[in-house]
Amino acid sequence: MTGRPTLASSLRAIYSLRAAVTKPVYWWYERRLRRKVREGGKLPQHLGLILDGNRRFAKAAGVQREIGYEFGIDKAHEVLQWCLELGIPAVTIWVLSTDNVARDPEEVAHLMKLFDREARNLAQDPRIHGNRVRVRAIGQHHGFPAHVLDALKQLEAATASYDGMLLNIAVGYGGREEIVDAVKVYLEHQQEAGATLQQAAAALRPDDISARTYTAGTPEVDFIIRTSGEIRMSGFMLWQSVYSEFYFCDVYWPGFRWVDFLRALRDFQGRKRRFGK
């Protein structure tokens, strides 16, 4: 016996119906745009995604913010599939900032439950294993509930040997905190090697920081997309984004469509990157 449909499932049905109605309008355009993107050749080697607008999406729909987060999770799974289809080698998604951790405790507790659930789901997701996706959780996780830490560790362990796409999940992440952590690790290594503070400072080079960031070993992020219409970085990958290209999309994250993604990639392909030269 099935129970009554939840508000979230009812809204999903409404959006599915809306997508079915508008599909004929977008089908030709999407097909043409997809062909252009595939023929354009140049795709990001490391894509950064700032998943912004879940709460505002919920507010605009007149539903609880928790439902906005549920839709945001659905969209993250969908966009992961798009990245796999296009063969993008590395993706970093920002799902929780260090600032977000200071929000309403009830909201943060709900988010922690979602992270626990989704980490365990990803650890068993056939797409992850079939495509050999390596997943890492990056950020500062002290203060996270033990069950969330356990779920994240299990997910990383289950995919640690994979050599397909690298998926970084930035949770409890802040760009300033990342740089501070990298400097701390550098200084600790210098101390272990017997160097004085003056010697460590004199020897410090940008590569020493790069080698100790959370994403060390990954190509620097070359394209960053932020949804929701906000035109700012909010501390996302401050060190790695020095030569990144940026794209700001007006749509809230749960409403981000395949055609929006293709437009962003097409825009990236049309840019001439100069790397400060």
Binding-site entries for substrate? 53-57, 65, 97-99, 103, 226, 232-234
If we measure between CA atoms, which residue out of 221, 1, 232, 187 comes closest to residue 91?
221
If we measure between CA atoms, which residue out of 241, 68, 102, 265 comes closest to residue 172?
102
Binding-site entries for Mg(2+)? 52, 245
Catalytic residue among 74, 100, 131, 150: 100
Side chain identity at 141, as an amino acid letter? H
Task: Round to the nearest angstrom and report the end-to-end CA distance of the chain.
Answer: 66
Q: Is 131 a catalytic residue?
A: no
Side chain identity at 206, as an amino acid letter? P
Binding-site entries? 52-57, 65, 97-99, 103, 226, 232-234, 245
- Say whether 96 sits in a helix, a strand or coil: strand
* 114 membership: H or E segment, kind and range: helix 105-123
- Say whether 173 sits in a helix, a strand or coil: strand
Gap between the Cα atoms of 79 and 218, Å rounded: 20
Q: Which residues lie closer than 8 Å to 44 by C-beta, 6 or more apart? A: 88, 221, 222, 223, 265, 268
Residue 230: which region, alpha, beta or left (left: phi > 0; alpha: psi -120 to 50)? Answer: beta
Catalytic residue among 52, 116, 125, 222: 52
Active site amino acids: 52, 100
